[in-house]
Structure 1
C-alpha cells in the first residue's frame, strides 16, 4: 500500500470524542495567555520524566542490586513502550484532529497527514515512565503520574490529540513498560551485580558517607 493510499484510508477519530476535544480546544481559544506556556510544556515537559528516572538511578546507587537493575531498566522499558506505540500508530492510522475538525482552535501546528494520532507518543513516554518507576520507587512513580496527566491534557489542549489518543497511550504504555521492567529486572540482575563490583562500581554504587579508600 502506498503512502497516499494509507492516508486515504486513515481513521477519523472525531466520531469517538470529537465534542470533548472541541470543548478543550475552545478552552484553549478562551485562554490565549496560557497557549504559549502549554505549547512549551507539551514538549519540554518530557524532560521531567528523564529527570525522574535519573533520580531513580541516583537513589538506587545506595540500594540493593535489584533496585539498580530496575533503575537501568526504566529508560529501556520506556523505549519499548514507545516502539509498540509507533507500531500501533501505523496499524490504526488515525488522522490528526486538525484534518478532521479543521474549524476548531489549534495551538499547535498541523503535522503531515502521515503523522498519525493514535496513540499519543508524548503520553506513551509519560505513562511508561510511571509504570517503570512503580517497581523502583513508588514516590517517584506518583510524581510521574501527576506530570503524565498534565502531559496528556496538554496534548489535547494544543490540539495534537483527541482524549482517546491519550487514554489509549496510557492503556498501552502502562502494561508494556511494567512488564518490560519486570522482565529486565530478572534477566539482568546477575550482570548488574557483577558490574557493581567492577569498573562501573562508582557509577552503579554510592560510596557510604565517611568511607575512604584503603591505603
Structure 2
C-alpha cells in the first residue's frame, strides 16, 4: 500500500464496506457492456449510421487506450478488501471509468433532456468499481480524466469531419 495515499485507501475501504449495495453495484459494473449495446442501438435509431460509427470508434479507442496505459502505470489491484468480484491485470486507469466518461462527453451534446442521466451513468459505473473492490479511487479519477480527454478528442474529430464534408447532417448534435 505504500504507493497509495492513506486517503485513497480509506475511501476504498469505506465504499467497499456497503455490502447492501453489492447487487446493484455488481450489476452496473458487470453489465456495462450491455448498457453500451443499448446506447449503440438507441444512437443508431435516433442519430443514424455515421453517428453510430463515430461512437464505436470512440469506444474502441477508449478501450485500447485503457489497455495500453495499464502496463505503463503498473498499479496492482487493491488488496485486503472485500472483493465482490475478481478481476485480473493492473488497476490504473479504470477502463470502465475511462470508457464511461468518454461516452458521457461524446453523448452530452446529443442527449437532449437526458444529459443528466448520461453523467449519472458515468459516475455510477465508475464508483461501482470502487464499491466492488477492484479499483482504488485514484484509478477511477485518472480513468475519468483520460476518458474526458478521449471524449473531447472525438468531439473534435467529429467537428473536423463535419467541417470538411466527411460527415453528413447526422453529424450535427441534437439541439444545434
TM-score computed with the length of structure 2 as normaliser? 0.80
From 114, 123, 131, the counterpart of 2:105: 131
Change over 3 Å in CA distance of 1:71–1:135 after alignment to 2:
farther
The residue correspondences of 1:110-121 to structure 2 (distance < 5 A) are 111-112=87-88, 115-121=89-95
Shift of 1:157: 0.8
Q: Bigger shift: 73-82 or 169-178?
A: 73-82
1:25 counterpart residue number: 16
Number of residues of Structure 1 aligned to a counterpart in Structure 2: 169
* Deviation string, structure 1 residues 157-198 (Cα, Å, up to 9, x no partner): 11010111111111100121221232144326634549x9xx
Q: Bigger shift: 136-145 or 51-60?
A: 136-145
Shift of 1:14: 5.5
Say whether the 8 Å CA contact 1:89–1:117 is kept in structure 2.
yes
Shift of 1:58: 1.6
1:41 counterpart residue number: 28
Structure 1 residue ranges (4+ consecutive) displaced by more than 6 angstroms after TM superposition: none
Change over 3 Å in CA distance of 1:130–1:118 after alignment to 2:
same
* Deviation string, structure 1 residues 51-106 (Cα, Å, up to 9, x no partner): 22432232224xxxxxx6444312211222222222221111100002xxx2x322
The residue correspondences of 1:59-74 to structure 2 (distance < 5 A) are 59-61=46-48, 69-74=50-55
Matched, 1:166 2:157: no
Unaligned 5+ segments in structure 1 are 1-10, 62-67, 197-215
Tell me how large the CA RMSD over aligned residues is.
2.7
Q: Which has the larger radius of gyration?
A: 1
Say whether the 8 Å CA contact 1:94–1:117 is kept in structure 2.
yes
Matched, 1:190 2:165: yes
Q: Distance in 2 between matches of 1:138 and 1:71?
A: 17
Unaligned 5+ segments in structure 2 are 171-176
2:75 counterpart residue number: 94
Shift of 1:42: 1.0
Change over 3 Å in CA distance of 1:193–1:149 after alignment to 2:
closer
1:58 counterpart residue number: 45
Matched, 1:108 2:85: yes
